[in-house]
Structure 1
Amino acid sequence: MDRELTARGAEIERASRASKTLSEANRSLIKAIDEKSFLQRMCEVTVAEGGYIAAWIGFARADRTVEIVATRTQLSDEIQRLASTIALRWDDTPLGQGAVGRAIRSGRPCILRLNTLDPAFEPWRSLLEGAGIRIAIALPLTIQDSVAGVLLIHAREADAFQPREVETLGELAADIGFGITGLRLKQRHREARRAIRQVSRYDPVTGTLSRSSFYRRFSQWVRRRRGQDRLLAVVVINVCQFGAVNVAFGYEQGDHILAEIGIRLQALTPEPLAVGRWGGAEFALLIEVAQHHALDDVVEILTQVLDLPVTTAQIELEPETCIGISVYPAHGEHVGQLLTRARAAMERARRLGTRYAVHEGTPEREAARHLQILTHLRTALDDNQLALHYQPKIDLASGRVTGLEALLRWQHPDWGNVRPDEFIPLTEQTRLIQPLTEWTLHRALHDREIMLQRGVDIPIAVNLSSGLLRNREIVRMVAQVLGLHASAGWLQLELTETAMMEDPERSLAILHELVAQGTPIHVDDFGAGYSSLGYLQRLPVDTIKIDRVLIQHIDRDARNAALTRAAVEFAHVLGLKVVAEGVETKAILQRLEVLGCDAAQGYFIARPMPRGDFLDWFEHHDGRFVPPEDST
């Protein structure tokens, strides 16, 4: 009887120690920062609080071995060295028949009692007995729904690991698996954030600045140099024969040329304030100069590096480039305006067959043109010159058309087609943006009702200007158009990152009001703007649209693919859907599906088209896009 009571008391004591171990481990789990220190702490708690001889944590590797990644002992270095010398496997070989291998394969705890004669334990019996170990238990660690490792605990008492103790230690192993899962997920979030920050600052092909970083450099220079007698040259460079290089040698060689030119431009002396790539084969630079006649020196320095041949596909090519220049503040005070004028000068140089050109227009001439456009646009609103074209978005898993983006078009009776990037930015600087947006919302509603008559029930996304987020007028406009239609969820609103970041707090309040009315918010051009990732998490958005700069060449560039995957994973962590825009090839479309993107739009799927043409296209395709077999 006394022996039975003593054994019972010992069992209760060990169960109590296991419970204490579990409690302390849970406290440590809450404080865990990184996986390595967390695993080491779990071993330390197991030995210190549970009174066990040693605790090891090992991971099952693809080669069927088990790697010990954390250990703790209360004995000499002998058992510590044992962790690095003992052979552990989890396959169905003799070295995989021990407690560790069995626990990983079965997903259940496995106890190794050294006083048994089980031949499966023979490879380790002498090693463990020599270290004073009489019993061991291997507890499977479940990480993201699959067994990925073990917690191996050694004890000196031959009768240890009775049912209550094993149950408690099983909870400990489950908590460790949960902790590893959480820490790895946090690490993936951090890596995704770093990748997105990287792509938001730099062009992935050339390593030059992204558009948003380029803009910031300009703003910083203006603030620092204001009032001083210094000028800033804004230079646009185009590699003229780049398209032919892609056709002749492939995109990989084309990217090689762009990367080489980017390296050369960043290594100029004196060093430019900024070098950026503007998509395709166009670069932009900011170069500080003392006076206008110093522009000749700038061009001479540029031509010296641009004229050097580039070796690609074992062939030396001499890049043909055209250069356009505008100057701050003589030709404008805003970076977008200066880039537009430098680009126009570059096009003029190409037409004239000269190497470079400097902007010749005057602010007065530009102002007159802008006033003319705004005056005619007021008339266009009343004279039926405006229209909406629709570009479909498809679900990548099924190919079904799941949405439409409404894009504004202006056909002037005398000027012909007026580009949206010519007139929309002007309206955003005036009160004309409000009636233009109101017209767009009502026309989208009108077209929606005609689509419903043809049996097409698809949400329509309308783009909003940043200026509309400065007051609540957009809330009224949306409420009005929604009140004219019975069905919910048909209207979606798209805003760029930059638009939402101009006045974050005011934007946030208005966005919440719009969402409350039943209009999902989509973030347009994600990855090309100024967004704060922390702020993005606060926005009541439903979907992000990845900018085309992120998905360029993802079918053949591992870096672009990794950045796109990071953006997709980051969005999914926040519970957002992901649409890729600017899809121009079958290979990119297929790669996006592999990377986990939800939907896509782009010229490969369909170009923007009038309502009637879209309905014909939709019916012809039975509402589903299937890439042609011979498409590229």
Structure 2
Amino acid sequence: MPDHESSADARERERLHLLDCSMLLDTPASEEFDQITRLASQIFDMPVSLVTFVDADRQWFKSRLGFPLAQTDRASSFCTHVVETADVMVVEDTALDPRFERNVLVTGEPYIRFYAGAPLRLDSGHVLGSLCVLDHRPRTFSPQQCDQLATLARMTMAHIELHQRAGRVNAVTRLPNRTQLFEDLRGRPAGTPSALMMVEIMDHERMLAESRAVGSEPLESLTIAFAARLRQLVGRSVTIYHVGEMRFCLEPDGNTHAQREAFAVQAVATLGGPMAFDGRAIELAPMAGLVEFDAGAIRPSDALRMASAALHSGLGSGAAFAWHDAALDASHRRAYRLMREISPALARGELRLVYQPKLNLRAGAFTGVESLARWRHPELGDVSPGEFIPLVESGALIHEFTRWVLRTALEQLARWHAQGIELTMAVNVSSRNLEEASFVRDVRATCAVAGVDPRYLHVECTENAVMTSARTQAALEEIRAMGAQISLDDFGMGYSNLACLRRLPVELLKLDQSLVQPIDSDSRAWLLVQSLISMGHSLGYRILAEGVETREAFKMLAGAGCDAVQGYYLSRPLEADAIPGFLRLPLPEWET
């Protein structure tokens, strides 16, 4: 143990190691655990019951009843407090507890107001996670109920310990499983050059389709037959591990990179081909992922993760096998880190808004700005919006994030209005925002609290966002009815459906910068933009061109009758306090 490591840090390191050895993280749902959460929910009359495991950076739910998320970041976890205290914890009203009143799981979905959790404690005293019950309203919880919850937690641990004692062989193929693989890798002398190859019989989507069609038994028979084919290929001297429903691992033959690659090529070719399945023959095209490493240099779980990542990269490229790509792996791990740190970053004030002015060519003035999020990470520095915004949009955080943007942008707009600076404010929203039942109500309430008339709010959304469902279109109609303007962002990017477009309450089309930027050097691009401006006007829309970066492009757009422009030629996105000074600068000249 390093000299500087505290006893608490050492114990946490031991706890995480024991959690890793439990082989429970990221495993499929299990009826034996689901029975416990159902029982807990019934006993305590609670809508939510969870079996949670607290990892280094997240809490993951082995069983969840009445809860929409499969995992959360550890920073927002209630159960991490149970891990730290190793005792039953009850929070009768989260909104009144200073530890949790600003927690994203309290202020946003799933709106936790009551929590009670009991530790899942090993004989060593280390706590892996908790059995907890939640409610969406404040509750009381008696000492007797605390004892009952602790008893259920001990029952859960009995299941876990039974799983650990019996869980070294796959029940279907009787091959060593992931637990045994990890133990065998740990037993290798440090520094031993090693390699791991993961083979998948068929991709997950195809497996699910087959399972829906014929059930699990034919798939199990197929898996057993494939294991026999794999054994025939490698012989009895090589250990084969069954590490997933249709995934196997082994050490590839050979001592060099080239030899191992040759083995992988031969393996996927030999293992493929027709195989009997549910009374018919199906064609198998197995895939493989390989990773090389020195024993002891990485955790066994990381070796398996890297082999899995290599397999997935091969799937993405259409290759039958692929080597682990360290750069791609680092990119995935960075994306995961950013995704779990965005919510805490919001709470810490690391994210801010900047504002890009929009020039109204009809009015001859800058009449609006677009709000754009920026993130300065304390360790990673400035994180590109192109990197973190897609992560926000793909997860549950999109709702909290958009509420923050709306609140921050409209509060700033109110301050400008108080100074006599009458601008409009554009805010970007996603299809998931528009599908949220409370979104329109949130927009109306945020305008009211900020003291901003909704007609100064411009809601920007992409073409693919507004055309996803009737609910998104209805939400836009309601927002438009408030007086806000609806703008279609990234117009011309390929999603356009003019038949749908004419039914939307859209007033302004924003030509995507990929169309606008080349117009001063590409005659075909310019012809396309001119056509879009003309078509938009003929359909009754105003047109804004974004991505205007040169004087020549600016003059061309103004001459073509474009209604408004936005881009670096006019101004980069500015901090809020720079906007008043910018508006006092002389306007660029143009001819219409």
Q: Please, what TM-score do these two structures have when normalized by structure 2?
A: 0.45
Provide TM-score, normalisation by structure 1. Answer: 0.42
Which fold has the larger relative contact order, with Cα–Cα distance below 8 Å and residues 6 or more apart in sequence? 1
